[in-house]
Amino acid sequence: MSFMTFCIDKVPNNFKKNWTCPVFIILDFYPSRMINAVMKCYHDHGPNQDRGMRELTWSFFVTLAYFVIEVVGGFLTGSLALLADAGHMLTDVAAIALALFAVLMAHRPATPKKTFGYHRVEILVALFNGIFLWVLVGFIFYHAYYRFFDPPPVKSLPMFIVALGGLAANGLNVFLLARSRHKSLNVKGAFLHAFSDALGSIGACVAGLIMILTEMYFVDALASFLIGFLILYSSWGLIRDSIHILMEGTPFHIDLEEICKALRGIEGVRDCHDIHVWTLTSGMESLSGHLIIEGSHSRQAILEEAHDILERQFNIHHMTLQLEEEDLKKEGADSGP
């Protein structure tokens, strides 16, 4: 047992649930023990509430280890493609560390000042990861441009061997994060980092093989351009989804007309308006709206049936519905259906 894991075991349970718990966890340098410490702190959130914590932690240590190997290999071989891939792996280390931080922050309880809690931290981190990837691409393109016209010699065989090892490490990361990427946009961001890294490693391997056979060293710069374009393509969806959530957009899988149709089907509901659905964080949708009802029907029965429909058919568990006998919608107001 490492010293920090021992400290965590001795911390009172009420303190473990506090936000300061991650400080102790991050200082535990043994991967398996760090994972266990994290899961102990948040054991009361259910088996599916870790939102990829275990996979993210293992992926962090795998990426960090091979980042060091690729940096050393890139400098020794003189390969920009290898250094570009290493630079991307460095962003992965930062991205996964931020993703872990976001998951930990999301477990902090809501407060009177933060009534929705800290779930949006995950979306902010996902957006930051996507933008950071684009900044990295600009750096890669800048250096690849000059190397294309004046390509330095590259030690192709060592580069190929290191790139092949990088492909294995990135493939392991993709495998670790693949099954959890649908739990959270935050984990999806880390997965896209790993996936684009795997594509970059393939490009570095191909470039190394071509240079071994032909000594055409400008291929190293071409591989760097290819890696950059693949990163741009893979990260666009992450940035788009993050901005859509932060703009309180209707979730892509939700059809407001279908919701209104279902609510109008409740006995006693004449119509509905001002229906708004938004995402707090991945998999956590909220709804607010107005139902125009017939005066003779039980308001409580209508509310119970509406809650049941929204939970069962649309997987929306947080909702606020206002019941009214007349349409209070102001003419010209910007509202939903």
Question: Each residue of 50-61: pLDDT tens digit?
Answer: 556 777 888 888
pLDDT at 36: 40
pLDDT at 35: 37
Question: How high is the mean pLDDT of the chain?
Answer: 75
- Amino acid identity of residue 218, one-letter, is F
The span from the CA of 19 to the CA of 107, in Å, is: 8
pTM for this structure?
Answer: 0.66
The span from the CA of 228 to the CA of 140, in Å, is: 7
**Cβ(335)–Cβ(274) below 8 Å:** yes
pLDDT at 235: 79
pLDDT at 166: 78
Q: For residue range 86-131, what is the model confidence (pLDDT) as tens digits?
A: 776 777 787 778 778 877 877 788 888 888 888 888 888 888 878 8
Using left for φ > 0, alpha for ψ between -120 and 50, and beta otherwise, residue 85 falls in alpha
**Cβ(34)–Cβ(57) below 8 Å:** yes
Tokens of 263: 């609510």
The span from the CA of 194 to the CA of 99, in Å, is: 13
Q: For residue range 63-72, what is the model confidence (pLDDT) as tens digits?
A: 888 888 878 8
Q: What's the mean pLDDT in 248-277?
A: 92
Nearest CA to 178 out of 56, 67, 266 is that of: 56
Q: What residue ranges define each of the domains in the chain, with the CATH number in brackets?
A: 50-246 (1.20.1510.10), 256-324 (3.30.70.1350)
Degrees, nearest 5: CA angle 120-178-285? 30
